Amino acid sequence: MSERFGHYQSEIYLQGYGGATPMFTTDGARLEEAAERVLDPGPFAYVAGGAGTGATMRANREAFDRWRIVPRMLTDSTERDLSTTVLGETLPAPVLFAPVGVQSIVHSEAERASARAAAGLGLPFVMSTASSTSIEDVAEASGKGPRWFQLYWPNDPEVCGSILARARAAGFSVLVVTLDTWSLGWRPCDLDNGYLPFLKAEGTAVPFSDPVFCSRLDAPPEENEAMAVLRWISMITGTDRDWSALPFLREHWDGPIVLKGIQHVDDARRAAEAGVDGIVVSNHGGRQVDGAAASLDMLPQIAAAVGDRLEVLFDSGVRTGSDVVKALALGAKAVLVGRPYVYGLALGGEQGVRHVMRSLLADLDLTLGLSGHRGVSALGPEALVRGQ
């Protein structure tokens, strides 16, 4: 039997009996409001904002609200097992830390704090190429915890190969390739603030610590930071690819490969035909295309089409334990959570991240049991009903 994550509820109540309350809210839907009070406008908008009018972000949440859980009774769900296996790795719960870059804009400990929190919970930390911390330093912070590496694909093959080799050498087991962000979406929240953290060298620790990238520069990054930043931005933006480019990844990565940003069932089929190991059904949290389909709306048909050929993961809009239950019931093997833990980082560093994720896991555990389920593996569409 896996860890009883729901015990966090009792822990909080017992601390309350002694006069202590949580460091900040346990409500995943209120974290954004709390983080706004402690962050400067630029960093807050960068994390919280989305593309255009925010229609895709709203659609992501509305899609969850359209599904309702149907609890079952007398199912002996006192003891529950949240553990699952994803890409050959046994996890205590079907939850991963999504790749989020430039975490230094919300807390000085940045990805190190988040990686330590993930390791303490036994959950995979998916490190972003846009991290404020080097590959090697994130690996050190992770210790023996599971860690995956997310790639923003540079258009310089040798630089890309060097970054992947470093990640593999540092113990990152799975490669997650983001497909939907080869150019930034139109983000008025950032544009109105004139705020792009990369221009101030935030989120550049990976290239600036890479020997092949640095060999492309006329001067080291510490001597001419602006030129190094512009060179890096030119490598990771403005270049879309097609399916014929995927073999390059296999040539430079000997572990599982996951494609992130799949929204169309035909793209999911192409991914399966290409032999990748998994996909993430995702619209980048609504940050790229305004008015795009909610990821949860696309999940059932994608899972039905390819779920027997590769691992189907999900992100975009997960805030609560019931959200996780719904995504799993609709075909996801696991979910990735991004903004909530970054808000926790802003509010309380490593302990803030841990509080957010323990709250989510406790909510998941209790919701699962109270809905009549003893584990996550048996969840299916019959656990839900579609509302109006």
Catalytic residues: 284
User: Is 152 annotated in some ligand binding site?
Assistant: yes
Specify which residues 148 forms β-bridges with: 126
User: Is 42 annotated in some ligand binding site?
Assistant: no
Output phi, psi for 169, to 5 deg. -65, -25
User: Is 220 annotated in some ligand binding site?
Assistant: no
Helix (H) or strand (E) holding 257, with range, is strand 257-262
Q: 332-351 burial string, b = 16+ CB within 10 Å, else e?
A: bbbbbbbbbbbbbbbbbbbe
Residue 328: which region, alpha, beta or left (left: phi > 0; alpha: psi -120 to 50)? alpha
Q: What is the DSSP letter of 276?
A: -
User: Is 260 annotated in some ligand binding site?
Assistant: yes
User: Is 101 annotated in some ligand binding site?
Assistant: yes
User: Is 317 annotated in some ligand binding site?
Assistant: yes
User: Is 134 annotated in some ligand binding site?
Assistant: no
The answer to whether the CB of 78 falls within 8 A of the CB of 317 is no
User: Is 144 annotated in some ligand binding site?
Assistant: no
**Burial (0-12, 13-18, 19+ Cβ within 10 Å), 202:** buried
User: Is 131 annotated in some ligand binding site?
Assistant: no
Using CA atoms, how far residue 253 sits from 74, 164, 166, 211, 336, in Å, is 48, 7, 11, 19, 22
User: Is 234 annotated in some ligand binding site?
Assistant: no
User: Is 178 annotated in some ligand binding site?
Assistant: yes
The answer to whether the CB of 75 falls within 8 A of the CB of 372 is yes
User: Is 145 annotated in some ligand binding site?
Assistant: no
User: Is 386 annotated in some ligand binding site?
Assistant: no
Lookup: tokens for 220 = 């080291």
Known binding-site positions: 46, 99-101, 128, 150, 152, 178, 187, 260, 282, 284, 287, 315-319, 338-339
Known binding-site positions for glyoxylate: 46, 152, 187, 260, 284, 287
Known binding-site positions for FMN: 99-101, 128, 150, 178, 282, 315-319, 338-339
